[in-house]
Amino acid sequence: MTDPLDDHDGRDPDALRDRAGLDPDPRDDQHLLIDDRVLDRIVGYAVEAGMDTTTVLEIGAGTGALTDRLLAVADHVVAIERDSELAAFLRREFVDAIAADRLTVIEGDALDAEWPAYTASVSNLPYGPSSELLFEMLPRGRPAVVLVQREFAERMAAGPGEDEYGRLSVTAGHYAAVTIEEPVPPTAFDPQPAVESAVVRLDPRTPTYEVSDDDRFFDVVRGVFTQRRKTTRNAIRNTTHITGIDDPAAVLDALDEEILDARPGSLAPETFARIARLA
């Protein structure tokens, strides 16, 4: 991978932390990414993929180490930061970029804030709400590079029959092609988390299968996977309160025995879409 930041004299992450006067609190999901090489590569994955960097959304900007590198490749960066002191620091640290209308800092929880229009998202997502944030992000159909827990990344990228395959895999794959770019060790952070992380690239795509109602499709996926150790036949029978299937017998009659005898973890997204259409 070529380095899009080769000529960029980036801000030092440790110096940013010191200037911010921050003592990161892991109990508040504060794990600062301090490895310069990983920070550079995260931006590089977005550039190499040809993502439109006209307006880049960053969720959880922290002390601005990634923000700084995004400003080197993007026309405009929108940084959302829930910590009021860190948001104030970002406004001081990047006052020139704000004055030049190249950076907007939004103070608030990303799950509550109104997201502006953006062309791509590049973020070191907070561990706790990463699932909710991605479920908010994916339907918007914009490419993204995100840093998340490695286990979470593997669940997103898993395919039918793999141990990690589940509701998250089907949901993420419905909206985007998921690529795990690289694992990131705990030593890249301060303080170090107890788990490994991974950089994930999300490239929006249109599903190869037909879904007439997204909500019904996701209800079926959610319901059936609550019974992942049972056969699909029993999972459909037992979860009508989740799936909203009014006539499970009719759905079962329309499905092949091979599907009905299989476990949910072996079903392709196309099969869940078929069940949803039958419902």
Question: Known binding site for S-adenosyl-L-methionine: residues?
Answer: 31, 33, 60, 81, 109, 124
| Interatomic CA distance for residues 127 and 73, integer angstroms | 26
- Tell me the binding residues: 31, 33, 60, 81, 109, 124
The secondary structure of residue 116, as a DSSP letter, is P
Q: Residue 182 and residue 107: Cα distance in Å, rounded? A: 30
CB 242 within 8 A of CB 213: no
Q: Which two tokens stand for residue 69?
A: 């590198």
Question: What DSSP character marks residue 188?
Answer: G
Provide the edge-to-edge strand list for the sheet that holds 76-81. Answer: 103-107, 76-81, 55-59, 120-124, 144-149, 197-204, 176-184
Which residue has tokens 């589940």?
166
Task: Write the CB contacts of 253 (distance below 8 Å, at least 6 apart in sequence).
Answer: none
Cβ contact 89:17 at 8 Å: no
